[in-house]
Structure 1
Amino acid sequence: MVGKISEDLLAVTWAMESRFEWNPITQYMEDTDTYDVGPMQLNSYFTANDIGDGFYDPTQYGLGWEDVMGNYSKGTRFNGNHHANILVGALKLKWLLHVKGSESEAARAYVGAPGKPGPEARKTQYDLYSNGFKKFLTVIKITLAFSSL
């Protein structure tokens, strides 16, 4: 577990958002005039609103907006702190898990852009891939626990 969410929820979300890229291309959403930014593809509008509404707070970790989001514009590579971006993505998933009640529904809600074919597809992706990630991460943990390093 990572802060009350499973590693596989975080892994599936990161994989589906940016294919585990540290510095993915910023996606501009013309229909909403917003940006999806960083490894977790945090939406500039929704992330700012969530933080403003107190759903999660990166400042408690000493992180500012530029740490989490970098300086973004259409088609540029992410130039913020990728660890900060992933942490805020994890905080969002933790909040969504609390609100939605299951990891599958939290994964579904992470992709919430109106009119986009995303939420149901993300739930399906989580249901499809989470068990494989869970098994993989369990093998890694067991292997590391018994390694001589």
Structure 2
Amino acid sequence: MSFVPSSFFIAIIAFLVLYALLRKYAFGPLFGMMEQRRTHVMNEIQTAEQNRKETEKLLAEQKEALQATRKEAHDIIEQAKLTSTKQADEIIAQAKAEATRLKDDAVRDIENEKNKAVAALRREVSAMSVLIASKIIEKQIDEKSQEQLVEHYLKEVGGNQ
């Protein structure tokens, strides 16, 4: 292979013409498309990054909302426990008060019945005393007979109870 200067210059000129044509008609649109593609990819990356940040933010908000809901549920349960304990205490106190009232009523009734029985017994003893006195007067008996008569009537009173 020999070096031919005219071929060399023609090749260089042809190369420069080809390069100028390629640059004008091929490289411009090709680089433009590549730039558009690069811009599109960069926009997609930015959009994806924004979406990721927004997703992280929403996830954090959801976690906070879930935590708040759990706390609220726990507070509701605690409030329900306190309310039920308070109601139970009130019911027990009412039951105790009612039992005390019923006991007091029963004691009063017993006392009243006892007083009535004592009064009836006194009336009966008074009546017996009057009867004994009248019989003593009727019989005009001696002391020994009088003691026997009193004992007899006391036994009768004791037996009637």
TM-score > 0.5 by shorter chain: no
Considering fraction of residues, name the structure with more strand: 1
Q: Which has the higher contact order (CA 8 A, sep 6+)?
A: 1
Larger gyration radius, structure 1 or structure 2: 2
Normalized per residue, the structure richer in helix is: 2
Question: TM-score when scaled to structure 2?
Answer: 0.17
